[in-house]
Structure formats: structure tokens, C-alpha cells
Amino acid sequence: MNWTGYLDANQARFTKELLDFLRIPSVSAKPENAGDVMRAARWVRDRLETAGVTGAEILPTAGHPVVLAEWMGAGPEKPTILIYGHFDVQPAEPFDLWQSPPFEPEVRDNRVWARGASDDKGGMLIPILAVEAMLKTDGRLPVNVKFFFEGQEEIGSPDLPPFVAEHADRLKADMIFSADGSQWAPGQPQIVEALKGLVSLEVHVQGAAADLHSGQHGGGVANPGMALAQILASMKSPEGQITVEGFYDDVLPLDAETRAAIARVPYDEADYLAETGAPAVLPEPGYTVRESLWARPTLEVNGMTCGWQGAGTKTVLPAQASAKITCRLVAGQSPEAVFETIRAHVAAHCPPGVTAEVTRNPGRAEPFQVPVGHNATAIAAQVLEEVYGRAPYRTRVGGSIPVMTTLLGELGVHAVMFGFGHGDENIHAPNEFFRLDAFRTGQLAYGQLMEALARG
Amino acid sequence: MNWTGYLDANQARFTKELLDFLRIPSVSAKPENAGDVMRAARWVRDRLETAGVTGAEILPTAGHPVVLAEWMGAGPEKPTILIYGHFDVQPAEPFDLWQSPPFEPEVRDNRVWARGASDDKGGMLIPILAVEAMLKTDGRLPVNVKFFFEGQEEIGSPDLPPFVAEHADRLKADMIFSADGSQWAPGQPQIVEALKGLVSLEVHVQGAAADLHSGQHGGGVANPGMALAQILASMKSPEGQITVEGFYDDVLPLDAETRAAIARVPYDEADYLAETGAPAVLPEPGYTVRESLWARPTLEVNGMTCGWQGAGTKTVLPAQASAKITCRLVAGQSPEAVFETIRAHVAAHCPPGVTAEVTRNPGRAEPFQVPVGHNATAIAAQVLEEVYGRAPYRTRVGGSIPVMTTLLGELGVHAVMFGFGHGDENIHAPNEFFRLDAFRTGQLAYGQLMEALARG
């Protein structure tokens, strides 16, 4: 029997095993589930052993543990790949919105319904099963494979940067594939070429020493709420252009080929407006909505605080006002440099009568963009085209995935997202599910990927 | 004995009576003190009778009562004046900040220390005592006098407009004097020529139907926090000019004589900055700080609400943002017309991608300005100059006093503030006090006022 035949013959068992895995409520955010996260780590370690990957280990961090394993039998002339995934899950509350209980998985409509089915237990089990199929039939893998599974992705992987730094030698690989990700749609694969970086900050405006009576002092001293509004308005045109001096300076321009690739991905404005409920789109002038969402930096007000916010009227002239802002960054930009442009802009545009200060808030990510011609990406795209019978869309993500930049920073390797979830699978929400078709397709794709990587 | 001799002879008793009056905790804001407010009304009625004003009456309203009385013995050829004051007081909390208990009045340093001593029990007792002195010595008053004392000023006189409308005939007078007010400083009288009006509103901006992920949708749809900032910034220049189209259209210009009168009132910028703690002043361009505070309309942000206001970072693209605004209005402007200019301005300046709505909040006052050459004001000024030996400053107030506009609206008469408190007497705060010198000066001034009015 070849490895694809093994996959066919064992799907029923694999599905049953996925359900077992999903029964463990490995919610990393809840201290009371810490033991369950550890149980999930042991399940993963044992499952790797079952697959034929001997010597899998649970390693501690300051928080939830990591599982590492490797099969290096392909020899030094073959590439070594690192496969990433996570066995922790989001909280499942509110439970009463679930059609079946989140930790009592059910199969309905050829889908598995449970918390973590799509994000990421189904996803991270896929490469283990592909490896098992090859080891149980051929007795070997076409390439050297390392597994790196963590238990704290859903809380932002706080202990991962020091762990990866400390274990950089052991994690060293020629290519990295993340099994935490999704395809564009059933039947339509994608390659994610870039993620945005992040810098988070706060603008704080101070006027008088304390709140004043707006009748007694209005017209005498400046109003920090108005001053904050003027500062914010100086940062962005009504048409959506960021007007912070120097903000776009380091941005790598979008070349015609990339713009064409983005334009090939279907976009329906009516659908987008229906999805967001916004009265109109507002892309950066000169760019399409998709280009603006995927490939241009943003500056967004996340919150504003000033004065009286209760019911009715309070005739107060507030002493302070502040706004929280996050910027999403693209290739070429750095969080520190962008923070500095904003700090300088606010200093230059602070209106008379108040003082303004800009401070950083927690949250930082470097932008992530796969270099043009990146070998692992090219091979992944080719495999997806073979498996799906369609060329993958070249897409980008407006959000940030810190682990991608951690791996790049510590190991110097751009990870390729090679996952088989879909955007509609209710991750982080009630009634999460995973498509069994995609579960099977993913196993085939990981097998073919290893074969393609061996050919080089 | 003439009436001034009577005043001299009875000051000790008057002070003792003021202390009795102050022992009644007539806090209109607290339902548990409603009986005390009524007790104060009875004290006032009885005190009027003692003064020789017979037939004083307590009249009900939907809330706290009113005391009305009149002495009409001067005959129809003499003018009739209405004297206003209030016998309710502010809450006294926090009690532990008082040097002596708020409702156990003490005399220290020739001052009476108690809640309500300055605002307004000391003030409203003054004209009663002047009337008593004249009635007990001359047996008559030089003019006809009506008294109108209320018990709900400190809660905004909610039941006063219908009461005044209903009793307009009974309250009808040629001139109105408010015994609720203050002089500029010990030894320096003032005539308050204008109060500002008020309109209160809220600007509400709506973007997407619900809060969105700032990474997934930033750059695709508009940010309501930024849109609100842009709308607010379009309303006022950084230099302090209101840029709402038409906002200043109805404002009566300040003539040179009024500007000169304002300039004669001492102003020390260092003192003003020390008082407010603001880093700089910000008057309307083209006007002094005093002119801006006293005689120019204002537009102040009282509060702003948008998105995440907790600690740290939340990468949310908020669905909504709103700002509370109050405008102080000057003669010529109306709350309704100013609201309409702002509504139209916001509609014209709403940036793309959001919708904006402007609604009114509770709180409304017409601007109040004594007409040039107003007879009662001229006579009051002359009396103050005689009593103090110094011409009164011509001042204005940036705040609004609804009862002044209610009396003007219902009775068609501009009231003159003729009160003897001072700005430093801790009204609405712990350790309120009233100067016994001013208590005595006020009695003399009210007597001389009645004599001067009789001369015409």
C-alpha cells in the first residue's frame, strides 16, 4: 500500500482520533484549564509516537508547554522543514449558543463541530497523519521534519520568543510551514504572502490642571477634547490618506505584478458592505479596497476618552483627553520608526493652550512579507495547484500573527502558512467546525509537499 | 430714629436671626430634607411678617414651595419692584472638610460660617431687614415692594417657569432685583450686565454596524473615532475661532464703549493661569480673554466617547463615536438657531464612510443682556457708587442663570443682580461663609435703592 492508500484506509480512525483530541478542553486563557492544556500536550506527544516519530518531548516554558519532535532520517542532503501548530483553544463561552456542546464533538454534514476543530487541532493533526502514512508505508519521509507545537497561541504566545531564542538550534530548519491557517474557499487554495506589523500608542492631551466650569472658563483656556480632535484630524484626510509627515516614507511600493495578483482575487463591494454594515468603503486614495486592506499601512483610532460620558448634559471643560491608536505596518516599516513619526507629528501639530504626549501601549509586531521567489512558497503554491486543480490566490492578511515574526526573527526563515481551515468556520465563536473534506485534502497536500520539497 | 439708625441698633439681633435661618438644613437636592425646605419657607414667611410685611404666603409648586409677599402702600404713582432670592441650599457633603459643622453656624473673623450663608440665605435676608428698618421707623416704604423667594434654585428651579407663568399678574413689577448675587470684591461693587445663554447637543457618528477587527478591516471602512475628530476639528480653528458656518451671524457686535468698560476691570493673566492651571490662555482671536469669557459665544466639548477606553491595547475598529458639546450664547443668538447652524455644519462636513447625527441634550437658556440705559441698572449702579464710594465695574458672567431668563420671558423685565456675596465665599463647597460687613452694607444699599427708585 502506498501512503495515499494508507490515508484512504485510515480516515475513519483519524476522524475518531480528532474527536478524542477535541474532547480535551485545552483553553489556554483559563487558569483552571491549565491541566487540560498539559493533557493536550501529552496527547500530541503520544500521537507523534504513534505516527512513528519517536522521542517527542514536552518542554516547559514560563506558561503552557511546548511539544517538540523530529524525524531526521532523510539525511543531510535533504532539506529540513519545521512544522508549526498549536494545541490550545479559545474559550467556548457562551456555551448556550452552541448547537452541540463545544467539548463534545459531533460530526454533522461531513463537518466536525467542536471548539478547536478548525483552530487548530484539526489543522495541526493533518501533518502528523501525513507523516504517519509515509512512515507506515515507505518507512521513511522524503525530507527531514521537525514538529513545533505550542499551547499558548490563543493568549498571544507570551513565552514563545524566549523559548524559540533558547531552542533556536533545535528548531533550525531550511523552511517553516505553519499548519495554523486557512484556504480561500472550498476548492480554492491561497498562498498568504504578507501579514501586517503593529505599533500601539496613546495620545494624551492636557489642558487646565482640573476640570473647569464650561461657562466660567469657556473662551478663556483651550479645550483638550477639541485639541485632541484637531491633532487626530491632522493625521488623516477625510478621504483616508494618512497625513502624518513621513508615515509612508519607508513603505515598499506595490509593484504592478503584485497589484495584478491582488486584483485577480474576487472582490464584491456589495458583499463587503453587507459583511461590515458600513455605509461606504474608504480605501486609501489611489488604492483598491483590497490593496488598502492587505498591502497598505493603516492608522486607526481604537478608542477615545474625554470628560463627561454619562447621560444628559454636564457643563464641564475637561482637563484631559486621550486617544488609543494602532497602526498596521507593511514591509519596509518598523514599529519604532512609525511611532517616532507620530510622536514628531503630534509635537508639531499640538494646538496652542494644551500639551500633548504620545506613549506606547503593549503590542508590537514587525511586518511580515515573503520575499519574491521564496522557494518554500513557490513549492507550496505548486502543490496546492496540483491538489486543488486550481492556482492558489496570492493573498495577504491585514492582521498580525506574532509567531510568524518570532520565527523569522529568531530562525531567519519566512514561514509559509499551509493550513486547511476556512474563513467561515466560526473560529473564536460558538459553533466552530472543520470540514472533513479539507482534513483529508490537507493530509494529501502535506504528503505531496514533502515529496515536492525532496525534489527541490 | 431713622431707618439707618434702626439698622445700626439691630445688627446683633439680625446676625442672630441669620444664624437661626442657617440652622435649617434646607437642601433642595435631597428628598429627605424636603421637610426642612418647607421649614425654611415658614421661617421666611414668619420673618416677613415680623418685618411688617403682612399677608406673606407659602404657595405650592410641583416641588418645593415659593414664598410670596407684597407691600403696596406707596401707591400707584410709585414704582413697584420685585425682589428675588432663594431659601434652599446646596448639599454640604463632604462634612468632614468643614471647619465647623455646616448647619451649626459660627461667627469667626466677622464672618458667618455655614452652608447657605452666602448663597443665598444671607443675601435674601438683607432686603427683608432693610424693609423692616423703614417700616418700623417711617411706617412706610418709598416704593411698592413684592417678594418672590423660592426653594429650588439649587436644583435648577424646575417648577419655576410654570409657576411664574401662572402667577405673572401677581409678580408683575416695574423692576426686578435679584438678591442672589455678588459684588466684585470687598470695597469694589459690580453691575452684572449680561449672562450667557446655553444650548446643549451631542454629535453621534456611526460607521460599521458593529465593532470590527482593526487588522481585518482597517483601510477598508471609515473609522468613526477619526471621523468624529475631523468633524469637531472643522468646528474650531486651533487658534480658538469657531468655524461653524453662520455661528457668529446673529451675535451683536461689541461696541467700543462696552469693550472699554470690560477693559477697566482688572485682569492679571498670571493669576488666571495660576487659577486654572492651564499652560496658556486661548481667547477668541481678536478679543481679550475677558471679552472672550464674558461677551463672546463659545463652543466647548464636554465629553467624548469611542471604542476601547480600558488599559492597554484593544485592536478594535469602533462602530460608533460621540461627543457632547455645549455652546454659551450671547445677545442676539438663540439656542434653536445655533443648534440649527451646528446641525447643518455637521451635515456639510461629515466625512465619507460614516453617518453623523446631531441631537439636543437637556439644558437650554436664552442669553440675557441688560439693555443699554436700563433704568433700574443705572439707579442700582448709582446707589452702589454712593454706598461703596467707588463706581461699580461693569461685568458679565460666562454662565447661565435660568431664573433671570424665566423672569424676563414671563414678566418682560430685565432683572438686576443686586447681591452682596463675594466670589471667594466657597459657595457650593465646604466652609461657605458670608461677610458680616457685606451683610450690613447690603441692608444700607437696599434702603438707599428704594429711596433712589422713589425719586425716579
Q: Do residue A293 and residue B196 have CB atoms under 8 angstroms apart? A: no
Q: Which residues of B touch A292 (CB under 8 A)?
A: 219-220
Q: What is the pLDDT of residue B77?
A: 96
Q: Do residue A399 and residue B216 have CB atoms under 8 angstroms apart? A: yes
Q: Do residue B328 and residue A219 have CB atoms under 8 angstroms apart? A: yes
Q: What is the pLDDT of residue B401?
A: 83
Q: Do residue A220 and residue B351 have CB atoms under 8 angstroms apart? A: no
Distance between CA atoms of residues B206 and B223, nearest Å: 9
Which domains can be identified in chain A, with CATH numbers? 3-195+367-455 (3.40.630.10), 197-251+297-364 (3.30.70.360)
CA dihedral B68, B74, B77, B80 (to 10 degrees): -30
Taking each helix axis as running N to C, give the angle between helix A335-349 and helix A224-233, from 0 to 180 degrees, rounded to the nearest 10: 130
Q: Which residues of B touch A208 (CB under 8 A)?
A: 276-278
Instruction: List helix spans (H) across B119-223.
Output: 122-137, 160-166, 168-171, 214-217
Q: Which residues of A touch B329 (CB under 8 A)?
A: none
Q: How far is B153 from chain A (nearest CA, A)?
A: 17
Q: Which residues of A touch B317 (CB under 8 A)?
A: 300, 302
**Among B198, B216, B221, the residue to mutate for chain A (most A Cβ within 10 A):** B221
Give residue B418's Cα distance to chain centre.
Answer: 13
DSSP state of B185: B
Nearest chain B Cα to A316, which residue? B302
Q: What is the pLDDT of residue B143?
A: 98
pLDDT digits (tens, 9 = 90+) for B27-50: 999 999 999 999 999 999 999 999
Q: What is the pLDDT of residue A362?
A: 87
Q: Do residue B280 and residue A212 have CB atoms under 8 angstroms apart? A: no
Q: Do residue A300 and residue B280 have CB atoms under 8 angstroms apart? A: no
What single-letter amino acid sits at B64? H
Of B32, B25, B179, the closest CA to residue B115 belongs to: B25
Q: Do residue B216 and residue A398 have CB atoms under 8 angstroms apart? A: yes
Nearest chain A Cα to B396, which residue? A216
Question: How would you list the strands of the sheet with B80-86, edge to edge?
Answer: B57-59, B66-71, B144-150, B80-86, B175-178, B415-417
Q: Do residue A302 and residue B316 have CB atoms under 8 angstroms apart? A: yes
Cβ neighbours of B323 (radius 10 Å):
27
Q: How far is A442 from chain B (nearest CA, A)?
A: 25
φ, ψ of residue A264 in degrees (nearest 5): -75, -20
Query: Is B334 exposed, middle or buried (CB count within 10 Å of its CB: 0-12, 13-18, 19+)?
Result: middle
Q: How far is B430 from chain A (nearest CA, A)?
A: 18
Residues 6+ apart with CB under 8 A from A398: A196, A293, A294, A298, A328, B215, B216, B217, B218, B219, B220
Q: Which of B304, B308, B321 faces A324 most closely, judged by CB atoms?
A: B308
Q: Which residues of A touch B276 (CB under 8 A)?
A: 208-209, 212, 217, 220-221
- With bands split at pLDDT 50, 70 and 90, how would you rate the model's confidence at B123? very high
- With bands split at pLDDT 50, 70 and 90, how would you rate the model's confidence at B402? confident
Under a CB-based contact definition with an 8 Å cutoff, are residues A75 and A66 in contact?
no
Q: Which of B212, B227, B362 faces A312 most closely, judged by CB atoms?
A: B362
Q: Do residue A303 and residue B309 have CB atoms under 8 angstroms apart? A: yes
What is the three-state SS of chain A? CCHHHHHHHHHHHHHHHHHHHHCCCCECCCHHHHHHHHHHHHHHHHHHHHHCCCCCEEECCCCCCEEEEEECCCCCCCCEEEEEEECCECCCCCHHHCCCCCCCCEEECCEEECCCHHHHHHHHHHHHHHHHHHHHHCCCCCCEEEEEEECCHHHCCCCHHHHHHHCHHHHCCCEEEECCCEECECCECEEEEEECEEEEEEEEEECCCCCEEHHHHECCECCHHHHHHHHHHCCECCCCCECCCCCCCCCCCCCHHHHHHHHCCCCCHHHHHHHHCCCCECCCCCCCHHHHHHHCCEEEEEEEEEECCCCCCCCEECCEEEEEEEEEECCCCCHHHHHHHHHHHHHHHCCCCCEEEEEEEEEEECCEECCCCCHHHHHHHHHHHHHHCCCCEEEEECCCCHHHHHHHHHHCCCEEECCCEECCCCCCCCCCEEEHHHHHHHHHHHHHHHHHHHHC
Under a CB-based contact definition with an 8 Å cutoff, are residues A338 and A247 in contact?
yes
Q: Is the peptide bond before A120 cis (omega within 30 degrees of 0)?
A: yes
Of A120-129, A367-376, B117-126, B280-289, the least confident: A367-376
Q: How far is B140 from chain A (nearest CA, A)?
A: 41
Coil, strand or helix at B250: coil
pLDDT digits (tens, 9 = 90+) for B208-237: 999 999 999 999 999 999 999 999 999 999
In which element (H, E) is residue B299 found? strand B298-307
Q: Which of A300, A309, A353 faces B305 most closely, judged by CB atoms?
A: A309
Under a CB-based contact definition with an 8 Å cutoff, are residues A433 and A230 in contact?
no
Q: Which of B227, B309, B312 faces A362 most closely, judged by CB atoms?
A: B312
Is 80 exceeded by the pLDDT of residue B196?
yes
Is 90 exceeded by the pLDDT of residue B372?
no
Q: What is the pLDDT of residue B92?
A: 93
Of B324, B408, B326, the closest CA to residue B366 belongs to: B408
Under a CB-based contact definition with an 8 Å cutoff, are residues B204 and B228 in contact?
no
Residue whose C-alpha cell is 468556520: A425
- With bands split at pLDDT 50, 70 and 90, how would you rate the model's confidence at B284? very high
Residue whose C-alpha cell is 458656518: B245
Is 90 exceeded by the pLDDT of residue B156?
no
Distance between CA atoms of residues B102 and B117, nearest Å: 9
Buried b (16+ CB within 10 A) or exposed e, A74-109: beeebbbbbbbbbbbbbbbeeeeebeeebbebeeee
Q: Which residues of A touch B292 (CB under 8 A)?
A: 219-220
Cβ neighbours of B162 (radius 10 Å):
13
**Among A251, A282, A326, the residue to mutate for chain B (most B Cβ within 10 A):** A282
Distance between CA atoms of residues B99 and A352, nearest Å: 40
Q: Which residues of B touch A362 (CB under 8 A)?
A: 312-313
Q: What is the pLDDT of residue A49?
A: 98
Give residue A359's Cα distance to chain centre.
Answer: 25
- The DSSP bridge pattern shows strands A421-422 and A182-183 to be parallel
Residues 6+ apart with CB under 8 A from A91: A27, A29, A30
Nearest chain A Cα to B212, which residue? A276
Under a CB-based contact definition with an 8 Å cutoff, are residues B177 and B420 in contact?
no
Of B226, B288, B296, B277, the closest CA to residue A354 belongs to: B277
Q: Which of A228, A282, A400 faces B222 most closely, judged by CB atoms?
A: A282
Q: What is the pLDDT of residue A402?
A: 83
Average pLDDT, chain B: 96
Per-residue pLDDT of chain A (456 residues; tens, 9 = 90+): 999 999 999 999 999 999 999 999 999 999 999 999 999 999 999 999 999 999 999 999 999 999 999 999 999 999 999 999 999 999 998 999 999 999 999 999 999 999 999 999 999 999 999 999 999 999 999 999 999 999 999 988 989 999 999 999 999 999 999 999 999 999 999 999 999 999 999 999 999 999 999 999 999 999 999 999 999 999 999 999 999 999 999 999 999 999 999 999 999 999 999 999 999 999 999 999 999 999 999 999 999 999 999 998 888 999 999 999 999 999 999 999 999 999 999 999 999 999 999 999 988 889 999 998 899 999 999 999 999 999 999 999 998 888 888 999 999 999 999 999 999 999 989 999 999 999 999 999 999 999 999 997
